[in-house]
């Protein structure tokens, strides 16, 4: 059995696995729809998507055993590294294994997942944390196993919200309700929000962009992650 088959089958003996979804998900208004930028949602033979699938396999090989979700936060030093698109593409790839997957936009500064998915962003993660309300998950058109939680309108206290115990409680609910959870975050060189997420999630995929991200900033990011005890499960150099 290869890594992807293992990732797909590792919880098939637990038919109650996805039942918590009904408790944490709120009624939805409409489907999120992937834009053409997310080619993997429409064309599984797209050259870039082949690389995404290879990355998915590597992450499955490094996943932790057990019956809780594989939760990964994507971090990078700068705006323009390609972090948000990779998070979306990776979530799509995980969902295509036929397992319940959640994509969370934890970039409460300059959110973009709602743009990549043409999704409603009136009520998102920021509001769920601030008001203690049920998160508004949006199903993704064309993928019955993928849900999106947008960031919501930009709050004045983004970092404080991500440090709030309500966010930690939400993450624990997601660990029980999904097989895969992927979180997008703000650039580390500009904000500390990503470190707050990484300190909670513990498993991080680090991204840099060729001819864009200074080596010093990537090295500093790895140092800061080590200082807070987060595990770097992989490092990606984006050439797109």
> How many Å apart are CA 10 and CA 12, to the nearest integer?
6
Residue 23 lies in a domain: no
Contacts of 197 (CB under 8 A, 6+ apart): 73, 75, 106, 162, 183, 185
Number of structural domains the chain divides into: 1
DSSP state of 70: E
Range of the domain at 169: 44-238
Residue 25 lies in a domain: no
> How many Å apart are CA 224 and CA 219, to the nearest integer?
9
Residue 14 lies in a domain: no
In the chain, helix, strand, coil percent, each to 5?
40, 20, 45
Residue 177 lies in a domain: yes
Residue 128 lies in a domain: yes
Q: What is the pLDDT along the chain (240 residues), one digit of tens a residue?
A: 455 554 444 454 454 455 444 444 445 458 999 999 998 898 888 888 999 999 999 999 998 777 688 999 999 999 999 999 999 999 999 999 999 999 999 999 999 999 999 999 999 999 999 999 999 999 999 999 999 999 999 999 999 999 999 999 999 999 999 999 999 999 999 999 999 999 999 999 999 999 898 999 999 999 999 999 999 999 999 876
At 198, which CATH number? 3.40.50.300
> How many Å apart are CA 211 and CA 122, to the nearest integer?
36
Res 3: pLDDT: 54
N- to C-terminal Cα separation, the chain: 32
Residue 18 lies in a domain: no
Residue 206 lies in a domain: yes
Output the pTM of the full model. 0.88
Residue 57 lies in a domain: yes
> How many Å apart are CA 156 and CA 208, to the nearest integer?
28
């Amino acid at each position: 059995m290869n890594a992807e088959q293992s990732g797909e089958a590792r919880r098939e003996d637990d038919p109650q696995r996805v039942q918590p979804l009904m408790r944490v998900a709120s009624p939805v208004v409409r489907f999120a729809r992937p834009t053409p930028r997310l080619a993997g949602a429409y064309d599984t033979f797209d050259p870039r998507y082949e690389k995404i699938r290879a990355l998915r396999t590597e992450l499955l090989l490094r996943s932790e055993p057990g019956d809780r979700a594989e939760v990964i936060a994507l971090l990078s030093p700068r705006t323009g590294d390609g972090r948000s698109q990779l998070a979306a593409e990776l979530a799509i790839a995980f969902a295509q294994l036929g397992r319940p997957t959640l994509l969370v936009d934890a970039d409460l500064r300059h959110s973009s997942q709602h743009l990549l998915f043409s999704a409603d962003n009136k009520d998102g993660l920021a509001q769920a944390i601030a008001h203690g309300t049920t998160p508004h998950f949006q199903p993704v058109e064309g993928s019955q196993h993928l849900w999106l939680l947008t960031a919501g309108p930009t709050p004045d206290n983004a970092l404080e919200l991500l440090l709030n115990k309500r966010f930690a409680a939400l993450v624990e609910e997601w660990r029980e309700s999904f097989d895969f959870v992927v979180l997008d975050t703000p650039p580390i060189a500009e904000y500390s929000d990503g470190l707050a997420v990484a300190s909670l999630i513990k498993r991080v995929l680090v991204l840099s962009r060729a001819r864009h991200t200074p080596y010093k900033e990537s090295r500093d990011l790895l140092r800061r992650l080590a200082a807070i005890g987060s595990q770097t499960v992989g490092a990606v150099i984006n050439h797109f």
